[in-house]
Amino acid sequence: MATHSSSPAVRRLSGWDHDRLLGLAADHSTPLYVIDLDRVRENYRRFAAAFPDAEVKYAAKAHTGSAVLSTLLELGVDIECAAAGELRRSIRAGSDPNALQYTAVNPPDADLDCAVELAADNPGLTITAGARDTFDRLAARGYDGRVAIRINPGIGTGHHDKVATGKDAKFGIPYDSVPGMAESVRSRFDLVGIHAHVGSGVLQDDLDDHCRALARVAEMARAVGDLEFVDFGGGFGVPYREDEDPLDMGTVGERVRSSISPLEAEVVLEPGRYIVADAGCLLTEVNTVKEAPSTTVVGVDASLATMIRPAMFDAYHPIRNISAPERETRAVSVGGPCCTSADVFCTDRPLASPERGDLLAIGNVGAYGYELANNFHSMPRPAEVAIDGTDTRITRRRETFEDLVRLEQG
């Protein structure tokens, strides 16, 4: 099936407008996140074209910025939320609460209170739960509305064990317990769906396991029966490494449909990373170049407080010297100003030889980049700008020290 999109299936750092990035860094300082809303639209349209008969919900946790959420809402995309804050953000961006899906994982009381209160006035909202305790807590709040059961298919896939949720006991009802759980849930709530999420960052080599897990989910959905939808989650990846090929979404769509058919209920998919990852880059300035016996250390003003994925997941992110991409390359290690050896973006990687004052771009940070930014070392979080055609606007201002201490007392 054709994807009906002429945009490349993955955007490399070489595909960004370097002059524009240099101008943004000059105007807004660094570190600086850049999100390209045109690319968000392209990625969504390519994905939706591969699954023309499915409902696509954007997994907000990948990037909850209002510019991204509102852009997708304008395209008619509904939102899947994993926490109460994401419910509130989605509504603030213009979402109809009746179209939201709240997928709870060990939800705090305040989160459940928020979801139940929203559902009281918006009965179309769906609450997904993956533990008997969560259903009991919902019933104790007087909730008897729309629910979905999150199931654990026992198969996990993805780029790292920490995201292979399909085999992690934290996520979902154990597979063999689902029929009994469904009977209990139906006696207390309006059971409208089955939900599962197998893992994250799925590429071609993971597709066989991914489809095998989806087939188990579909099998259980058929056994439970009388469902409005079956939500197969997201997990479709993008190639972070330059030598990795992007998914052929037309082929992926055919593989997924073959794995889950026949299915009477509506198919729901929740892409997050696929929509936003390569729509974002992080700009950072070189402040130190140090020759050491084992490597050349390149110090930059971004850190694991700015973008933690390499430290947290041992994740690879492409890096490019935007100031001088044609300069002779040499192997360097790029790290930030945090007082830990984990604050490293790459080790001994060939890079156009950086000099103090050069601007580096770190690619594929649109998913779980700003979302995982933090204030380690009392570092203010960076600014974010959105590119929208020929326009550029600040979507998140740079934090100040006063922002960091505003909530402190005593």
Residues tagged active-site: 339
Amino acid at 45: R
In angstroms, rounded to a whole number, what is the distance separating the alpha carbons of residues 73 and 65? 12
Give the E-state strand segments of 61-205 in sequence order. Answer: 78-81, 101-103, 126-129, 146-152, 157-158, 173-174, 190-195, 199-200
Structure-block tokens of residue 146: 């729309």
Amino acid at 8: P
Helix (H, G, I), strand (E, B) or coil at 151: strand
Main-chain phi, psi angles of 62, to 5 degrees: -65, -40
Supply the angle between the helices 207-224 and 178-186 in degrees, to the nearest 10.
40
CA angle 89, 94, 98 (to 5 degrees): 90
CA angle 360, 8, 54 (to 5 degrees): 120
In angstroms, rounded to a whole number, what is the distance separating the alpha carbons of residues 269 and 80? 10
| Residue 234 CA neighbour count, 13 Å, CB half | 29
Angstrom distances, CA of residue 111 to CA of 102, 119, 149: 10, 12, 18
Query: Cβ distance 24 to 322 under 8 Å?
Result: no
In angstroms, rounded to a whole number, what is the distance separating the alpha carbons of residues 362 and 345? 9
Structure-block tokens of residue 9: 């299936």
Structure-block tokens of residue 301: 């003003």
